[in-house]
Amino acid sequence: MFELDFAYSALLIVCLIAACSFEFVNGFHDTANAVATVIYTNSLKPWVAVIWSGFCNFIGVFWGGIAVAVGIINLLPVETLVDQNIAHSISMVMALLLTAIFWNLLTWYLGIPCSSSHTLIGSILGVGLAYSLLPEAAGDAVNWGKAQEIGVSLLISPLFGFSMTIILMYLIRTLTKKTSYGDSLFKEPKKNQAPPLWIRSILVLTCTLVSFFHGSNDGQKGVGLIMLILIGVVPTYFALNESFTPTNLPAALTKIEHVISSIDSSHLSKSDRNKLAEATLINTRLQQRFANLHDVQDIPKAERFLVRKDIMIMDRELGSLAKKEDVKLSEAEKKSLKDELKNVRKITDYSPTWVLLMISLSLGLGTMIGWKRIVKTVGEKIGKEHLTYAQGASAEIVAASTIGMSSYLGLPVSTTHVLSSGIAGSMVANRGVKNLQPDTVRNILIAWFLTLPVVMIMAGTLFLLFRAIF
């Protein structure tokens, strides 16, 4: 028994190291986009830019909240996939980790700005779909509602980056046309000569913001990945937040019960009536559980995952019902339901500080290594001309605002695609579509279209293979 426990502990450590490796690769793969503009406009020396960007990524992971991490966790309903066989959980984790790391390294080696977000999300979806093919599969193995939100975010963000950069370039050109410095903004920087202080300050600031928001968005994906591993492999310790005080949960559950009781089930379909009945039963069970509970640690370890499962299922069922036209709820009731479910989810939506620290270090250190390939592609190969000050500033302002807003909304976006599309937009704004290098744009688009299907097939195949072996 000791040898078995030791083997699983060793595998857990391997999984955590692999997750940190993914975030490490993410650092020199994605963060290179943030430093390309300041390097190619001579605003900062390469190593100064890389070290500064790494530090900002580190801070971004800590201060960026965990909304994106929760989105990643919720994409794959762990409560559906996890069973009593730890080997099955490890099969799930290893399949998505190996796939994500392999594809990131391959595209980095080829110098293609490929999205780590697409890679990770595609791997998760591949595992979920593969699980649904197994005989023991029960319920959806993918949270399709969350998948749809993330898919729309990943699709719209590069289009937004491209178009907004064109608009911003036009505004800068128009507003500076009659000024003494207007022409210099749109000329190629002189070799080894730093730009004027005010331009340099803007470029360094935008690099800082992109790096910070990259940490708050892409870094949180790593946090979500670690939590998927911990909840899937050792749910008795990480299914619930042990530092959370559950004394306010009974009141929240009572308010949820009040909203549930106001729903007229006679107008609902059979499946929706079943959802309502299940949510009602779970709510009653949770009220009994937390009625006199003052500490999460008082819940037996063997039952903690079941509590998490109840909370997640209730949240999903009620969230789905609240969107149905047949469910006659006032706006006040919908808001109350959403707020109280969020309060209940505080016991499940969390991340230990040591996880944040581990991912912060991995992302920050990764930023400082291997950045040259992607920087060269972004700085030299997207357009046919050298980056100008206006192009660099426009692309990074749009990228920082897009990524920051997405992090606030809890939606993962691709830093790579947002900034690369911004650079492309700045090239088009300068001299039209002919100013783009077709080979590079084609490679980026091919990687964009291939990433999801390739990693989904690879992750799903590995998962089924590991399940057959273990």
How many Å apart are CA 152 and CA 127, to the nearest integer? 21
Q: Residue written as tokens 């273990």?
A: 470
Largest pairwise CA distance in the chain: 79
HSE on the CB side for 372, CA within 13 Å?
4
HSE on the CB side for 40, CA within 13 Å?
29
What is the pLDDT, as a whole number, of residue 108? Answer: 73
What is the pLDDT, as a whole number, of residue 50? Answer: 81
Instruction: Enumerate residues 6+ apart whose C-beta is below 8 A from 280.
Output: 257, 260
Of 299-303, 326-330, 383-387, 464-468, which gets the smallest average pLDDT?
A: 383-387
Which amino acid type is present at position 294? H
How many Å apart are CA 355 and CA 367, to the nearest integer? 18
CB 286 within 8 A of CB 311: yes
How many Å apart are CA 381 and CA 365, to the nearest integer? 26
pTM score, two decimals?
A: 0.80
HSE on the CB side for 367, CA within 13 Å?
30
Q: Would you place residue 51 in the very low, low, confident or very high pLDDT band (cuts 50, 70, 90)?
A: confident
How many Å apart are CA 460 and CA 453, to the nearest integer? 11
What is the pLDDT, as a whole number, of residue 82? Answer: 59
Instruction: Enumerate residues 6+ apart whose C-beta is below 8 A from 210.
Output: 33, 34, 396, 399, 400, 403, 415, 419
- Could you tell me what percent of the chain has a pLDDT over 70? 88
How many Å apart are CA 58 and CA 24, to the nearest integer? 12
What is the pLDDT, as a whole number, of residue 18? Answer: 86
CB 364 within 8 A of CB 167: no
Q: Would you place residue 372 in the very low, low, confident or very high pLDDT band (cuts 50, 70, 90)?
A: low
Q: Would you place residue 381 in the very low, low, confident or very high pLDDT band (cuts 50, 70, 90)?
A: very low
DSSP code string of 178-232:
TSTTHHHHTSPPPTT-PPPHHHHHHHHHHHHHHHHHHHHHHHHHHHHHHHHHHHH
> What is the tens place of the pLDDT at every residue in 251-304?
999 999 999 999 888 888 888 899 999 999 999 999 999 998 989 999 998 899
> What is the tens place of the pLDDT at every residue in 100-133?
888 888 877 776 666 777 888 888 888 888 888 8
User: 319 is written with which tokens?
Assistant: 């969230």
Which amino acid type is present at position 131? Y
Q: Would you place residue 172 in the very low, low, confident or very high pLDDT band (cuts 50, 70, 90)?
A: confident
User: 75 is written with which tokens?
Assistant: 């994409």
HSE on the CB side for 194, CA within 13 Å?
13
How many Å apart are CA 426 and CA 397, to the nearest integer? 12
CA-based nearest residue to 282, from 230, 349, 344, 347: 344
> What is the tens place of the pLDDT at every residue in 21-49?
888 877 766 666 677 778 777 888 878 88
Q: Which residue has the higher pLDDT, 312 or 138?
A: 312
> Does residue 1 surpass a pLDDT of 50?
no
